[in-house]
Amino acid sequence: MAPTDGLDELRRENRRLKQQLEESSQLIKGLPDLMFTLSREGVFMDYSSMGMALYRSPEGFMGKSVYEVLPEELAQRISIASDRAISSGERETLHYALVLEGEERHYEARMMRCCQGEGVVAFVRDVTRVSLVEEALRNREKELERKTARLEEMNTALEVLLKKRSKDKRALEEEIHFTIREMIHPWIEKLKGSRLGDRQMAYLEVVESNLNTIARPLVQTAPSYQLQLTPSEIEIANLIREGKTNKEIADILSLSVKTIETHRKNIRRKLGITHSKTNLRTLLSASAPNGS
């Protein structure tokens, strides 16, 4: 046999031994920590502790009923699970907790019929570490849910604030534009028609140019119909564009329907459709940016 053949054989043997070790390890991990045999009446008949600590000493539970050894609620659950396992022949799984040596321990008991149907065998595993990890995960999930809900609330509040800020900004722009157009430009025109010297006229033209520079962005962002209307008319025109009726607009602005009708007539007049069948809402929508 060549040296390499012997080396390959050793490697194969090593892999086989590792596989057997892993299988044995998995088998050991699957073994129960405790095992009890109970009669149909719930009396402890036999046990194996696998070196694990017991809730009571063997003298304290052997030959006694679960009701004499364990807390009443747990004893009742064990009794019900035992009856089910004996009746059905199927495995019953029970999760419970006990205080052992001052520490709460969590267990999983798998109960199966035995003793020719006259009792059950319970394979018990200590799952405290698993339970603690699961509880920690549940707590983290709850905390994450709380933080997510809080974040959603904050996002909603932020959206409301942004919408209000945008609305306030538009209202301020409209007010500034109206002030420049209706309260400043007319006086500039009057000054132009008065007897001003060349230097004074130059100053006035600078003022007018600067005002136009200020107003230009407001004109670009505002619907074209707003250039001809008063702030009150702009507000009513915007509501008409949204499809509100005269009564709805009157309710929103706390005005009479007759007042709204008067404003509506003034808006049609300023837009040049007094004697036209043109739909006012359609015209206002077409005049808004992007037709919106």
Query: What SS3 state is found at 98?
Result: strand
Assess if residue 121 is contained within a domain.
yes
pLDDT at 27: 43
Domain boundary (97, 126, 155) is at 126
Domain boundary (126, 144, 161) is at 126
pLDDT at 43: 93
Query: What is d(CA 91, CA 114) in angstroms, rounded to the nearest whole number?
Result: 11
Assess if residue 44 is contained within a domain.
yes
Assess if residue 245 is contained within a domain.
yes
Assess if residue 202 is contained within a domain.
no
Assess if residue 260 is contained within a domain.
yes
Assess if residue 156 is contained within a domain.
no
- For residue 122, the 8-state DSSP code is E
Assess if residue 51 is contained within a domain.
yes
Whether the full predicted model's pTM is greater than 0.85, yes or no, is no
pLDDT at 148: 84
Instruction: Please list the pLDDT of the chain residue by residue as tens digits (292 residues).
Output: 555 555 566 667 666 666 655 654 454 445 567 889 999 999 999 988 876 788 888 899 999 999 999 999 999 999 999 999 999 989 999 999 898 888 888 888 999 998 888 899 999 888 888 767 777 777 888 888 888 888 888 888 888 888 888 888 877 777 777 777 767 777 877 887 888 888 888 888 888 778 777 776 665 555 656 666 777 788 888 888 888 999 999 998 888 999 999 999 988 888 888 888 888 888 887 765 554 4
Range of the domain at 243: 223-292
| Cα angle value 146/149/151 (rounded, 5°) | 110
Contact call for residues 174 and 226 (beta carbons, < 8 A): yes
How many structural domains compose the chain? 2
Beta strands, E only, the chain: 34-39, 44-48, 92-100, 103-114, 119-126
Question: What's the Rg (C-alpha) of the chain?
Answer: 44
From the number of C-beta atoms within 10 Å of its C-beta (0-12, 13-18, 19+), residue 185 rates as middle
* CATH of residue 73: 3.30.450.20
- For residue 5, the 8-state DSSP code is H
Assess if residue 61 is contained within a domain.
yes
pLDDT at 78: 93
* CATH of residue 286: 1.10.10.10
pLDDT at 291: 45
Domain boundary (100, 126, 152) is at 126
